[in-house]
Amino acid sequence: MTPMERADVPAATRIVVKVGSSSISGENAGQIAPLVDALAAAHGRGAEVVLVSSGAIATGMPYLKLDARPDDLATQQAAASVGQNLLVFRYQQSLDRFGIIAGQVLLTAGDLENPTHRSNAQRAMERLLGLRILPIVNENDTVATHEIRFGDNDRLAALVAQLIGAELLVLLSDVDALYTKPPHLPGAERIARVPFGDALAGVEIGSVGRAGVGTGGAETKVSAARIAAEAGTSVLITATPLVDRALAGDDVGTWFEPDPARHTAAEGAALA
Q: Express each pLDDT in 65-92 by its tens digit.
A: 999 888 888 898 899 899 999 999 999 9
Q: What is the β-pairing status of strands 254-256 and 14-19?
A: unpaired
Residue 215 has pLDDT above 70, yes or no: no
* Residue 94 in marked binding region: no
| Confidence band of 10 (pLDDT split at 50, 70, 90) | very high
CB 192 within 8 A of CB 203: no
* Residue 18 in marked binding region: yes
| Class level of CATH domain 6-271 | alpha beta
**Alpha carbon distance 143, 139 (integer Å):** 9
Closest CA to 260 of 6, 1, 3: 3
Name the most confidently modeled range: 44-53, 184-193, 201-210.
44-53
CB 265 within 8 A of CB 1: yes
Residue type, 264: T
Residue type, 1: M
Overall average pLDDT of the 144-172 stretch: 83
Residue type, 233: T
Residue 55 has pLDDT above 70, yes or no: yes
Residue 216 has pLDDT above 60, yes or no: no
What residues pair up with 179 in beta bridges, in sequence order? 190
Overall average pLDDT of the 203-218 stretch: 55
* Residue 54 in marked binding region: yes
Residue 214 has pLDDT above 50, yes or no: no
Residue 268 has pLDDT above 70, yes or no: no
Confidence at residue 150, expressed as pLDDT on a 0 to 100 scale: 65
Residue 29 has pLDDT above 50, yes or no: yes
Residue 13 has pLDDT above 50, yes or no: yes
**Per-chain mean pLDDT for the chain:** 87
| Confidence band of 1 (pLDDT split at 50, 70, 90) | low
* Residue 174 in marked binding region: yes
Overall average pLDDT of the 17-35 stretch: 92
* Residue 8 in marked binding region: no
Confidence at residue 170, expressed as pLDDT on a 0 to 100 scale: 98
Residue 37 has pLDDT above 60, yes or no: yes
Residue 162 has pLDDT above 90, yes or no: yes
Residue 247 has pLDDT above 80, yes or no: yes
Closest CA to 86 of 17, 158, 26: 26
CB 21 within 8 A of CB 54: yes
| Confidence band of 206 (pLDDT split at 50, 70, 90) | low
Task: Determine what percent of the chain is predicted with pLDDT higher than 70.
Answer: 89
**Alpha carbon distance 208, 152 (integer Å):** 13
User: Which string of b and e fits 191-202 if b means at least 16 CB within 10 Å?
Assistant: beebebeeeeee
Overall average pLDDT of the 25-33 stretch: 91
Residue 244's region, left for phi above 0, alpha for psi from -120 to 50, else beta, is: alpha
State residue 254 phi and psi, 5-degree precision: -120, 125
Question: Is the pLDDT higher at 261 or at 66?
Answer: 66
User: Concatenated DSSP letters for the chain?
Assistant: -PPP-GGGGGG-SEEEEEE-HHHHSGGGGGGHHHHHHHHHHHHHTT-EEEEEE--HHHHHGGGGT-SS--SSHHHHHHHHHHHHHHHHHHHHHHHGGGTPPEEEEEE-HHHHHSHHHHHHHHHHHHHHHHTT-EEEEEE-TTT--TTT--SSHHHHHHHHHHHHT-SEEEEEESSSS-BSS-TTSTT--B--EE-TT---TT------S-TTT----HHHHHHHHHHHHHTT-EEEEEEGGGHHHHTTT-S-SEEEPP-GGGGSHHHHHHH-
Question: Is the pLDDT higher at 32 or at 3?
Answer: 32
